Amino acid sequence: MQDECYQVRQCFAQKLHRGLCRLRLPLEYMAIFALCAKDPVKERRAHARQCLVKNVNIRREYLKQHAAINKLFSLLPEYVVPYTIHLLAHDPDYVKVSDIEQLKEIKEALWFVLEIIMAKNENNSHAFIRKMVENIKQTKDAQSPTDAKTNEKLYTVCDVAMNIVMSKSTTYSLESPKDPVLPSRFFTKPDKYTFLSLTHQ
């Protein structure tokens, strides 16, 4: 998705889009579209956005028609958020944790995805996303749980995501109707001590 060759980026995006539309690729692959926010070609960014919109709509429609389905975790569009946060926290270009320019790029990448996911506040999804981000901050990066810098970058990306959610959400209930499930391959179980500290502040 970040190859120097325009044709390579285009071909990869099209294959990714087809696999996601047919529900043959895991939801986590949809997070890759966040990297398109940095694409220097305007047409590529626009195409990636169209792909995201279509994928989100396909999943929402599928869930409406299969209300009793047990695959909520693998289909609900909101669940792309944890994957996107983790992907951006591990972006090779994200070197200095508090670098303003790098954080601006991360914000653009997050907004590239969140704008579409949050376009309709279906089933109080804004609160669900907020809860998801809060829960991530109570975990550690499962790939490097003892690496302080890795976790600091993860939490910083969470802060940027939370800032977007809070600034764009004005009519949501504070309580999420569902408790999000985080992918265990990327996040450890919540730190109970941290959770208790946060809830009693």
Question: What is the residue-wise DSSP string for 56-77?
Answer: HHHHHHHHHHTTT-S-HHHH-G
How confident is the model at residue 40, as a pLDDT?
87
How confident is the model at residue 120, as a pLDDT?
80
Among 142, 132, 137, smallest CA distance to 159 is for 137
How confident is the model at residue 195, as a pLDDT?
44
Say whether 141 sits in a helix, a strand or coil: strand
Taking the chain (201 residues) in runs of 10, the rounded mean pLDDT of each run is 62 85 92 92 90 94 78 86 98 92 96 93 83 95 96 98 88 66 93 48 41
How confident is the model at residue 171, as a pLDDT?
58
CB 35 within 8 A of CB 108: no
Say whether 127 sits in a helix, a strand or coil: helix
Amino acid identity, residue 22?
A: R
How confident is the model at residue 8, as a pLDDT?
72
Q: What is the pLDDT of residues 39-68, one digit of tens each?
A: 888 988 999 999 999 999 999 999 888 876
Contacts of 183 (CB under 8 A, 6+ apart): 28, 82, 83
